[in-house]
Structure 1
Amino acid sequence: MSSPQESQQEAASAAAAAPTGIVVGIDGSEQSNCALIWAAREAQIRQLPLHMVTAYTVPIFAASGLDGGYATIDDDVIRQGAEAVLRESAAKVAHLNVQLDARVENGDAAGVLLEMSESAQLLVFGSRGRGGFLGRLLGSVSSALPAHSKCPTVTVPLKCAQRLGQGAADARATPPVEKVVAVGVDGSDQARYAVLLAAEQAQRSGSSLRIICAVQPYTGSLAWMPAPVDRESLFAEIQEQLDAGEKWLRSHFPTLPIEVQLVEGSAVETLVQATESCELVVMGTRGRGGFAGMMLGSTTDGVRHHAKGPIMVVRDREDPRQGDRSAFGPLLQA
């Protein structure tokens, strides 16, 4: 058993080794290469270290024949292969002015990355990964990370490879990328926190901020309601709340260009469309009912699965800047 002094030393060593900048999941796939390029550029803008991470588990399989038992694949072989992938990936961002380190971890990929998210400022990964000896670093793992990560996460789809300078140019016309950070809102406290982080991101990158509120159109699914919905009054009420929110945000970001869009339509479709032309789209992991219905929650997954550009997902946090929101006008009532 370790002595109290040894335990303190081990804890201090673990804290020193914990990544404090941007963590990016690597598995050698094209998707993770896109995530790496985006993460490296973001690390350069933020002047933070970039931590490249890959994780693996050693496969165990039952032996056949009369000599019952289990066999394992040589751990050294797997680790050497993973280290080679990291070296190749590091070479892709060597031209950037970024403090870079790479590490191979033995363990479940999701668990490894989630543990690192406790100290990291940002966790970045591709939307899908590859098979092979690195297992499932991305893919199904990336679907679980946004909901459980302790820090904001960014999913970088392969579809935005061209805008990152990766891959051959697509002959089909693609919309130009605007210097705009978009954020989806629904009136919830979490959405307001997402707006604050989106504003910080826009200010840091020299972009403008676009706040998007999508209201589901009236359909037969609302026929159960006891009284018809007065759409005109509903939109007027939402607009009043959005105007108040814009004034509040400008008080904290007085020099940031801000625009607000109130649209009637599917939240998923609206935000997916925004990913085609905006440099980043920001969302919360869950939202509330109210004037925009299910703006977040399941919407987040829907947007991530169809996104054409990077998506930042923000978990709910308390922020002292939210304390003065009510002073600027009406809030959505629970």
Structure 2
Amino acid sequence: MNEDKVVLVGVDGSPESFGAVDWAVARAARNGWRVHILCAYSLPSFTTASLDGGYAALDDSAIRAGAQAVVDEAVARAQGQGVKVSSSLETGDPAGVLVDLSEDAAIAVVGTRGGGGFADRLLGTVSSALPAHSHCPTVVVPRHTEGAAYTPVKRIVVGVDGSDSARKALRHAVREAEAWGAELTAVAAVPMSTGAGALAWLPAAVDRDQVLADVRAGLDRAIAEALDGHSGVTVRRHALDGNAAQLMSEFSTAVDLVIVGSRGRGGFSGLLLGSTSQGVLSHAACPVMVVPWRVKEGDPVPERNSGTPWGRA
């Protein structure tokens, strides 16, 4: 057991956020980690008009009580699953609070497609905040509608584009495959076909099969490096002609977890921090893990006790 390592999960009371709790609990159980459930809220930036024509400050007691009820329901859902559960209620912008606390977490988990609350804010006006600024990998769990649940994770696909960020994502994918006992497939996408792809300008004389062979050779080297010390993991690999975002979305229909990096050179750099990122996250049929460029190597262990909620049970 290693309860010092934390899976941080944000909740807002929506079914999607409770689905994120289920995913976080299942992941924490794989390594004996702790789950920390967080609900963050901010008060409206305006006051209300009073009957005498003046203005009255908004009493936040009802808002806080509602947020605490959300936390209590999520904690009750997580308990009895074989993992230690702690929780906290925080004031402030949810994305900002999660980014701050992600520095002391192994993984952060949120739901998506919520009813206009916490999850929508993460993937709406501040859609890039958590994936781009988190200090740990972020898992975005989509709405579950039918069929089997998203856990246990049996099949994982990771996107690799040759960047340092993608290599970090690949190393995390190997660790995830090891933790879940899952099959892992690494995919390198090269958009060479006729059209608006990044390499569509290549002259016809270029041997595109050779380009894919070179990409495959680079992929093999990256996989060999990522597997160092993880001999029990087998990685399938594919170098494909196509758009990375579309390919990841297609793979998401057949796997249980998609893993991508952010801020790489080419490849996924534009996907996860630009306009295409919304398509990847919102159209994926399974949870997506985004490994930020600045993520710590290895699984972080909380070191601070002052000013953080980790010790609260």
Q: What is the TM-score when the length of structure 2 is the normalising length?
A: 0.81
- Separation in structure 2 between the aligned mates of residue 178 and residue 86 of structure 1, nearest angstrom: 26
1:242 counterpart = 2:219: yes
> Superposition RMSD on alpha carbons, in Å?
3.1
1:220-299 → structure 2 map (5 Å cutoff): 220-221=195-196, 228-289=205-266, 297-298=273-274
1:209 counterpart = 2:194: no
1:104-115 → structure 2 map (5 Å cutoff): 104-115=89-100
**Residue 84 (structure 2) aligns with:** 99
**Residue 330 (structure 1) aligns with:** none
- Residue by residue over 1:212-240, the C-alpha shift from the partner in whole angstroms, topping out at 9 and shown as x without a partner, is 11111322446655775431221121122
- Separation in structure 1 between the aligned mates of residue 51 and residue 269 of structure 2, nearest angstrom: 62
- Separation in structure 2 between the aligned mates of residue 178 and residue 121 of structure 1, nearest angstrom: 18
1:38 counterpart = 2:23: yes
Q: For CA contacts below 8 A with separation 6 or more, give which structure has more relative contact order.
A: 2
Shift of 1:89: 1.9
Change (3 A) 1:316 1:212: same
Query: What is the percentage of aligned positions where both structures have the same residue?
Result: 40
- Residue by residue over 1:181-202, the C-alpha shift from the partner in whole angstroms, topping out at 9 and shown as x without a partner, is 2110011111111100100110
Structure 2 residues without counterparts, runs of 5 or longer = 299-313
Note if contact 2:29-2:82 (Cα within 8 Å) is conserved in structure 1. yes
Shift of 1:138: 4.5
Which of 74, 91, 107 is equivalent to 2:59? 74
Q: Which moved more, 1:304-313 or 1:209-218?
A: 209-218
Letter in 2 for 1:305: S
Shift of 1:57: 1.6
Change (3 A) 1:161 1:48: farther
Letter in 2 for 1:148: H
1:123 counterpart = 2:108: yes
Note if contact 1:128-1:138 (Cα within 8 Å) is conserved in structure 2. no
- Separation in structure 1 between the aligned mates of residue 221 and residue 238 of structure 2, nearest angstrom: 14
**Residue 168 (structure 2) aligns with:** 193
**Residue 39 (structure 2) aligns with:** 54
- Separation in structure 2 between the aligned mates of residue 309 and residue 160 of structure 1, nearest angstrom: 11
Change (3 A) 1:125 1:257: same
- Separation in structure 2 between the aligned mates of residue 131 and residue 53 of structure 1, nearest angstrom: 18
Higher helix share: 1
Change (3 A) 1:240 1:306: same
- Separation in structure 2 between the aligned mates of residue 75 and residue 300 of structure 1, nearest angstrom: 35
Shift of 1:65: 7.7
- Separation in structure 2 between the aligned mates of residue 139 and residue 97 of structure 1, nearest angstrom: 31
Letter in 2 for 1:274: F
Note if contact 1:54-1:137 (Cα within 8 Å) is conserved in structure 2. no
- Residue by residue over 1:30-80, the C-alpha shift from the partner in whole angstroms, topping out at 9 and shown as x without a partner, is 110111100011111121111111111222434448955533332111111
Letter in 2 for 1:199: V
Structure 1 residues without counterparts, runs of 5 or longer = 1-18, 167-176, 322-334
Count of aligned positions = 291
Letter in 2 for 1:44: A
Note if contact 2:155-2:256 (Cα within 8 Å) is conserved in structure 1. yes
**Residue 146 (structure 1) aligns with:** 131
